Amino acid sequence: MTAQSPALELRDVRKIYNTPGGTIDALAGMTLTAEQHKIHAFLGPNGAGKSTSLEMTVGLRTPDSGTVRTLGLDPRKARDELSRRVAIQPQEAKVFQYLRVGELLDLWSSFYDHPRPADEILDSLELAKYVERQVTKLSGGTLQRLNVALAMVSDPELLILDEPSTGLDPRARERLWSVLGGWRDRGTTIVLSTHSMEEATALADSVFIVDRGRCVSSGTPEELIASFAGGPAVVFRLSGDLSEENASRLRSLGDLTVNPDRFAALKTARTDEALVLLSQTPGCYDLGIHQPTLGDAYLAATGTELTATTTPEED
């Protein structure tokens, strides 16, 4: 309730969906805390429980058990107050398909006492040229930006976006990241879900790795990389088996792994020495340095790779 409350707090939140095909454990003990005035990314694959969690924070879904607090408030009891202070990216723009973009923004603005100027939002998301266009005639990527624009209209303290860059081309995505960074810099808390390592790395101050209904790890991208992926590695290929003698020389510099396809990695902070030694070791070629990424940390934390799919649909 106070300015010091976390933006979001979920404690051991569980949710089972009953479907004709059986029960689905959508949330299996989700626990996390998201501080205010930052950009937080829920990073995980389809079905990990990101949308269910986000929708619960504004009372659109009810947990079976556990505690959800948004700005210190119970979303099931404080829906009116939260609807003034928090905005979640709507999926409704399509419902208003016969309105023009400008008309829809004006209608949305009329719901709030202190909306942010629609022109400013349209300009920042490069939607101004579509004001006269009917919603039904927008491409997927433009419709997506319109949904983000609608969430921004109420000038919320907490802006929740569900995969906001889906369908955006790389330029529109970077533009969106810069706009969201600007909102964060002037105090807005942003929580978004994403499949994209690149987006989480470029945009998020903190990342929640979501896997099978739980937050399995969290931290800044740098913290996650440091704790799960470790330091750099010198990577190389082998034309044949390494002799025991050469392998033990390499191991004196760090951890050596060789996969069945003869791709090898030597994890070491002494990369210069490793490169010299490898260049003198017979059968080692294609030498390179791999700096650890959030993708490596994700793989180490969950045991699976996350492959992002983006479908540029801008017009």
Ligand X SMILES: Nc1ncnc2c1ncn2[C@@H]1O[C@H](COP(=O)(O)OP(=O)(O)OP(=O)(O)O)[C@@H](O)[C@H]1O
What is the contact surface with ligand X in residues (CB under 6 A)?
17, 19, 24, 26, 44, 46-52, 193
Structure tokens at 115: 């909306």
What's the sign of the alpha-carbon dihedral 57, 297, 38, 148?
negative
23 versus 239: smaller Cβ distance to ligand X: 23
| Cβ proximity of 135 and 100 under 8 Å | yes
Q: Which residues are CB-neighbours of 262 under 8 A, at least 6 positions away?
A: 237, 238, 239, 240
CB of 47 to ligand X, least distance (A): 4
Which residue bears the tokens 């210069």? 272
**Whole-angstrom distance, CA of residue 275 vs CA of residue 262:** 17
CB of 26 to ligand X, least distance (A): 3
CB of 184 to ligand X, least distance (A): 22
50 versus 69: smaller Cβ distance to ligand X: 50
141 versus 213: smaller Cβ distance to ligand X: 213
CB of 25 to ligand X, least distance (A): 8
17 versus 285: smaller Cβ distance to ligand X: 17
CB of 169 to ligand X, least distance (A): 20
Structure tokens at 31: 């626990």
88 versus 233: smaller Cβ distance to ligand X: 88
47 versus 170: smaller Cβ distance to ligand X: 47
CB of 180 to ligand X, least distance (A): 19
Nearest to 49 by CA among 192, 163, 214: 214
CB of 206 to ligand X, least distance (A): 18
26 versus 224: smaller Cβ distance to ligand X: 26
| Cβ proximity of 314 and 141 under 8 Å | yes
